[in-house]
Chain A
């Protein structure tokens, strides 16, 4: 039964592996767009990916400073000590991010078709998705 299990933090090693995977993914995106002769888009993807990882590192550092008993679902989730309500909130938030991604993808394609800059569009989509994730997480944390 999960509720009787002791809380276990997400280890630094696993967090570093996750960050490493993120950097590799951002690097692969950069490589793909560079090969496709889209240097602006490649730069946008790289900057966006690195920004997301940097944010994750910063928030984890902030959560760790507050300790494992951090009085917030976001901190517990980032420290890997989320309980079932936190996980419910995270799951619902990610579902909203999926919906937002679906909509943002369509809008981004339309913007590109109208001549918008690729790097700008990718950066905007990433910013919107991060904002949706944080906003919905905070909103659900207050209401649930």
Chain B
């Protein structure tokens, strides 16, 4: 699943570690999310959207 996490993070001037700390996940999880290797749970997807003050639909895109 494609997502806009890397773009949003870089626009916010955050490191992966800083975003990971804010979301209470590991830096590897943020890296995996950005590279599309790991699809987050619904609670984590909501947490990401809430953190960037946007919606899940604006961040995550179905590949189909």
Kindly list chain B residues whose C-beta atoms are within 8 Å of the C-beta of A1. Answer: 43, 46-47
Q: Do B43 and A3 touch (CB < 8 A)?
A: yes
Q: Does A2 count as interface, using CB distance less than 8 angstroms?
A: yes
Q: Do B26 and A76 touch (CB < 8 A)?
A: yes
- B-side interface size class: 10 to 19
Which chain A residue has the least Cβ–Cβ distance from B37?
A: A144
The contact string, 1 if C-beta is below 8 Å from chain B, for chain A 1-34, is: 1111111000000000000000000000000000
By secondary structure, the A interface counts as helix
Which chain B residue has the least Cβ–Cβ distance from A87?
A: B41
- A-side interface size class: 10 to 19
Q: Do B38 and A3 touch (CB < 8 A)?
A: no
Q: Do A144 and B38 touch (CB < 8 A)?
A: yes
The contact string, 1 if C-beta is below 8 Å from chain A, for chain B 29-58, is: 100100001101101101100000000000
Which chain B residue has the least Cβ–Cβ distance from A6?
A: B24
Which chain A residue has the least Cβ–Cβ distance from B41?
A: A84
Per the bound structure, the CA–CA distance linking A84 and B24 in Å amounts to 10
Per the bound structure, the CA–CA distance linking A39 and B37 in Å amounts to 49
Per the bound structure, the CA–CA distance linking A132 and B40 in Å amounts to 26
Q: Does A83 count as interface, using CB distance less than 8 angstroms?
A: yes
Q: Does A143 count as interface, using CB distance less than 8 angstroms?
A: yes
The contact string, 1 if C-beta is below 8 Å from chain B, for chain A 107-144, is: 00000000000000000000000000000000001011
Q: Does B27 count as interface, using CB distance less than 8 angstroms?
A: yes
Within 8 A of B (CB), among A82-123: 83-86, 88
The contact string, 1 if C-beta is below 8 Å from chain A, for chain B 1-34, is: 0000000000000000000000111111100100
Kindly list chain B residues whose C-beta atoms are within 8 Å of the C-beta of A83. Answer: 24-26, 29
Q: Do A5 and B26 touch (CB < 8 A)?
A: no
Kindly list chain A residues whose C-beta atoms are within 8 Å of the C-beta of B40. Answer: 84
Q: Does A71 count as interface, using CB distance less than 8 angstroms?
A: yes
Question: A residues engaging B (CB < 8 A)?
Answer: 1-7, 71, 73, 76, 83-86, 88, 141, 143-144
